[in-house]
Amino acid sequence: MGDPDFNNIPIKWLTSEKYAKQTMAQITMDKARSSKDVNPGTPPLPESPDTTHFSVMDKFGNVVSNTYSLNYSYGSGIVAKGTGILLNNVMDDFSAKPGSPNGYGLVGGEANAIAPKKRALSSMTPTIVMKDGKPFLVTGSPGGSRIITTVMQVVLNVIDHDMNIAEATHAKRVHHQWLPDQILIEPGLNKDTIQLLKAKGHKVVTSKNSMGSTQSIMYKDGYFYGSADTRRPGAAVIGF
């Protein structure tokens, strides 16, 4: 505690219901606790755990599809020798304990177990679709395990369902990742589709959150069509 003009006080967290519940859970009604055991909690890190994607196309036919991931808090505390570059921490993308789910509910096996010099699995799917040898569609998304299905649906919506990139971006999304054995849907998916899925024996669960946030560009008939996915804040299309 101290003057907030001089100290960074995490007021929002200190006054949150979550912190109150955590503190309450430590109270014992039948026995006094030693003050040595009464300690402040640990405030959450003041940073977003999000993965970010951007897509770029230019008139010369150059294309960039870039997804990069913080994966929870940034940094491993290790600087690569001689470079000054702080390495990130994506250890949760490994199967820490084969058979147990990671932070995105993905259940991996021995092949993705932690080992020196090994790269962890990643769902990141930066994508460039070529048509007649020329860039046609560039897309990608954050969203952990849902990235693959999200990107796949944008591509299928454009190619197989003949949608323009805006329709393809805003269409409701569905996701299945083997375990848990359920189809996750975004709120608002067509009720008939839900019924048909249930009739086939699927367990259909409506997600509390939207899925992914694709940033895409489609090149058609001499025009660039950009579509920013407003499922997450900060999305934008810029042309110049």
For binding to ligand DON (CB under 6 A), which residues are involved?
A: 50-51, 69, 71, 90, 93, 122-124, 142-144, 147
Supply the residues annotated as catalytic. Answer: 51
Minimum Å gap between C-beta 133 and ligand DON is: 30
For every residue of 138-149, DSSP letters joined together read: EE----GGGHHH
Which residues, other chains included, contact 121 with Cβ-Cβ below 8 Å and sequence gap of 6+?
Answer: 93, 94, 106, 108, 112
- How, if at all, do strands 174-175 and 183-185 pair? antiparallel
Strand extents, DSSP E, the chain: 51-57, 63-69, 79-80, 85-86, 127-131, 134-139, 174-175, 183-185, 204-206, 215-220, 223-228
Minimum Å gap between C-beta 126 and ligand DON is: 11
Q: Count of alpha carbons within 13 Å of 138, Cβ hemisphere only?
A: 20
Which of 112/227 has CB closer to ligand DON?
112
Which of 135/143 has CB closer to ligand DON?
143
Minimum Å gap between C-beta 235 and ligand DON is: 13
For every residue of 78-112, DSSP letters joined together read: -EETTTTEEP---GGGSBSSTTSB-TTS-B--GGG
- Report how far residue 21's alpha carbon sits from residue 24's, in angstroms, rounded to the nearest whole number: 5
- Report how far residue 190's alpha carbon sits from residue 172's, in angstroms, rounded to the nearest whole number: 9
Q: Which parts of 29-83 fold into alpha helices (H)? A: none
Which of 123/157 has CB closer to ligand DON?
123
Minimum Å gap between C-beta 153 and ligand DON is: 16
